[in-house]
Structure formats: C-alpha cells, structure tokens
Structure 1
Amino acid sequence: MADMLATPEDLASLLERDDLDLYKATMLVECATAVVQAAADGQRIVEVIDDTAEITAGTGQWLSLPQWPVQSVTSVDYNGAALTTPAGYRLRGTRLWRRCGWSDCPLDLNVATVVYTHGFPAGAQKLQFARQAVLGLIRDVYDNPGGLKAEAIDDWSATYSALSTQMDGTPTLRAALRRQYNRRQ
C-alpha cells in the first residue's frame, strides 16, 4: 500500500458523507500524499520502519542519511562488515559519524548499508499540516473528477474552484510544505 497522510474516513468526514467509494477515496488520498511528499523535497515524511539505504561513503567522518527525521538506526554494514555503536559509528541527527572516516582511500567507492527508522509516526503533530494539505488537494476532486469549472442543467448551475481541482497544489502550498518539512530543521 502507498503512503497515506490522511485516511478515506478523514475525507468522508470533511465532505460530511458516509457513502464514499472506499477504493476511489483511498486512491485520491494516496495520490495527494505523493504530491505533498514530492513538494516536501521528496521526503517520505510518514514513518517508515526498518528502511534500507545503500549510501556511497566518502572520505569524511560524516555520512548523511537520505530520509529524515531519523528516529533510530537498527544496523550499519560497511563494505560487508557489521559496525556496532558506539565504537563503529554514532548517530547525530540525520547523520552517522565515524571516528576514522568512511573511506581509507579517496578513490575507493565504499558502500554503507543502513537499516533505520525515519519519518513522523502516525498521529504526530508535525504531520497535521501535511494531512491538511492532502485533504485540501482532494476535497473538490472526489465529486468533480473531470475538473469542471462550471456546469449547468436547465436552471441549475454550479461553479467549482479552479485551483482545488488541480492535484499539483499551488506554488504557495508547495513552498509552505518545503518550509515545514525542510531537512535543516
């Protein structure tokens, strides 16, 4: 299953409906979550337990992990050998530190395989802005999948918000997501 920053039940509550097509609502939530995470510098901001990353290590003492926030590191293998803490490495924020550096020779391509848990756990306050963004992207899409701006039948007419029918979000929303989930926090 794909990442979901909201649930189909959240969408049903927002729309004040109890007859939503679960498959359609799930697909919209998954797609909007992908849009939000892409706008957040490609970070999977939802919690991922025991994710594996293979990182080419340089000559420095610091090795940056690709996803954040980092909750814990389960294991680190360096060139096929398991490292242990605290002698082998130390976790500091989103980076691993190794006293003797990550490479003996500047021309070697050494690989560190890291198994770690990252992202925010379900229900974390930090996820609320992303949840709101997901629901904001899809609230008008569920009943208007064609992206109509207006429709009329006899003497009835309706006008839809043009921006909310687009699943890519506004430049302002994308900038706010980058600010909220920027790696440097």
Structure 2
Amino acid sequence: MHKDKIANLFRQRGFWGAVTYLLPFLIGFIRGIFRGYAFVFIGRGVKIRSRSKVKIGAFTRIEDFTEIDGFGTRGVHIGKRCKIGKYSIIRVPPTPDTPGQGVLIGDHSTLAEFCFVGGAALVEIGKNCSIGQYVSFHPQNHLGPGKSSGTTQFGISVRSNVWIGAKATLLDGTYIDEHTTVGACALLNKRYSSGTVIGVPAKNVAI
C-alpha cells in the first residue's frame, strides 16, 4: 500500500481497526518469504505444487486456500500486483501424471474467488484484467463422447484490459481482444474483437 492509502486507512478505521486489517497482510508476506516468494502475500492453506515452475511477481496476493500446480512446459507465471482470490485453482496438468503447457497472467490482473484455470494448453491473461467469481478456463475439448475420443488443445488467450463477469466459462480456442467486456454467465468458444461487449441478457417472457 502507498503511504497516503495507509494514512487514510487509519483515519477511516481508527488505530485498532487499521491494525487488525493490516495484520493478516503482514503475516501473509512473512509466509511468502518462508515459502521462497519475497514480497508476495500468501494466505492460509495455500497449496503450491511444482514450485520451481511457479513464478509470482512482487506484491501479488495469493489468497486463502488457493491451489496452484505448475507441472507443465511453461508452468505458471503470475505478474506483479496481481490477486488470486480465495479458493481459486490454477492447475496446469490435465491429469496428475501428464504435464500441461502453462498459465501466464500479466501484471495488475485479478481473479476473484472460486476461479478455475486449467493449463492443458496455454492460457494467457493479459495485464489489467478483472475476472469475476467462479469464472472458469478450459483449454481442452473432447472430440467425441468417452475419454478415449481425443482432444483439441488450441489454448485460450485473453488480451489486456478485459473485464469478465462472474460465472463466465471460456472453452478451448477462445480469443478475447483488448478492452472487451464479458457479461456474467457467458459461454465463450471463439474469437471476439476489441471493444466488444459480450453478454447473456435476461429477457421478459410473456405468460
């Protein structure tokens, strides 16, 4: 936090209110140091697997009970000043014994609580993106019924300055260009040009 923000926090919350708000951040940063990530906030119950493949930028927050598995060719790279919300999962391998490709997240991007990002094929999320609760990324599609049908793995690309509403689902092959807004509960599986507004609006139904 900047000094002016901290000062304002003490003015608004009072001394003890500000201290109780800031204390978990201090503990999280200490937890990050012990786990090999300087200047990274790591919450309670966070699981990081294949740690050598997981790179996290400074002043990023990995919130409580998040799971990150970097077992893949590109691993997981999370930029500076990002936030990964509570109970989110970033899982590169499609199965525990099969390496995936990877997940790359740019600076200043946030994933809200309960997000899922698979990395069987490469998933790229640009800078300054805001992704709502329960959004899921699935960079792998089955070609037919049954586990032996084979899969496509084109990957998913979300460029910078994209907003994605809660519970949207991004399927393999999705490409979202810059400055695009995706409405809540949208299902995406193709290319979307810059500045597009994508949604699933409710409609009045006559009875």
Larger strand fraction of residues? 2
Q: TM-score, normalised by structure 1?
A: 0.22
Larger helix fraction of residues? 1
Choose between structure 1 and 2 for higher RCO, CA contacts under 8 A separated by at least 6 residues. Answer: 1
Q: TM-score, normalised by structure 2?
A: 0.21
Which structure has the larger Rg? 1
